[in-house]
A and B are shown apart, each in its own frame.
Chain A
Amino acid sequence: DTEVTQTPKHLVMGMTNKKSLKCEQHMGHRAMYWYKQKAKKPPELMFVYSYEKLSINESVPSRFSPECPNSSLLNLHLHALQPEDSALYLCASRQGLAGGNEQFFGPGTRLTVL
């Protein structure tokens, strides 16, 4: 199974709401990523988890809060977002943080902040 799944597929939220994005992989990968992608742009790295610990935070605002409950699951908790946070949020997984092993991407969650 080389699939990364993400739920929900679409999400509309107000600026005062709290919501969560979920990502799951069953490939035994030990590194997981969150990306934000705006239209016509490449993905922009947000967070990297390695062995369930947060390794990298690319100076992401605190209104985005990642969580890795176990090696297969990655969440992104959203609170008090701004309209400019509307984007496609992609999750990816990888065997580990070294070597040339590729990242496997999920289909993304299309987030709209009103």
Chain B
Amino acid sequence: AQSVTQPDIHITVSEGASLELRCNYSYGATPYLFWYVQSPGQGLQLLLKYFSGDTLVQGIKGFEAEFKRSQSSFNLRKPSVHWSDAAEYFCAAYNSGGSNYKLTFGKGTLLTVNP
């Protein structure tokens, strides 16, 4: 079955420290991959997406993600975290063939930022 796994439920980092949020996928073929961020009580905002090509993808708010086919991973990174980055982060994927109405989400990683 197609799935997206975020191994870390909760991560705490200090402001100014680097960040990496992990995401693994299980699909027959490379899916379309996304990272979304959700602040409390808000909707989801797209940070970045990967379809094909360059495996290092730049997004908004200083985030980037690296696609690694050999590890079935699409990890999100930021070199220096700001207090405003505290939020829930969701990795998500569509299958890449035919009609793909369903966006499969990971369970999310809650990011806490310490001052």
For the complex, count residues of B whose C-beta is within 8 A of A.
26
For the complex, count residues of A whose C-beta is within 8 A of B.
27
Kindly identify which residue among B43, B101, B103 contacts A106, using a CB–CB cutoff of 8 Å.
Answer: B43
Interface segment out of the listed A13-21, A40-48, A59-67, A68-76? A40-48
* A92 to B38 Cα, complex, angstroms: 14
CB pair A108–B90 under 8 Å, yes or no, is no
Kindly identify which residue among A55, A56, A92, A100 contacts B96, using a CB–CB cutoff of 8 Å.
Answer: A100
CB pair A42–B101 under 8 Å, yes or no, is no
- Which residues of B have CB within 8 Å of A90? 43-44
- Which residues of B have CB within 8 Å of A88? 41
* A90 to B43 Cα, complex, angstroms: 7
- The answer to whether A31 has its CB under 8 Å from any CB of chain B is yes
- The answer to whether A97 has its CB under 8 Å from any CB of chain B is yes
Interface segment out of the listed B20-28, B62-70, B75-83, B105-113? B105-113
CB pair B41–A108 under 8 Å, yes or no, is yes
* A103 to B49 Cα, complex, angstroms: 11
* A40 to B106 Cα, complex, angstroms: 12
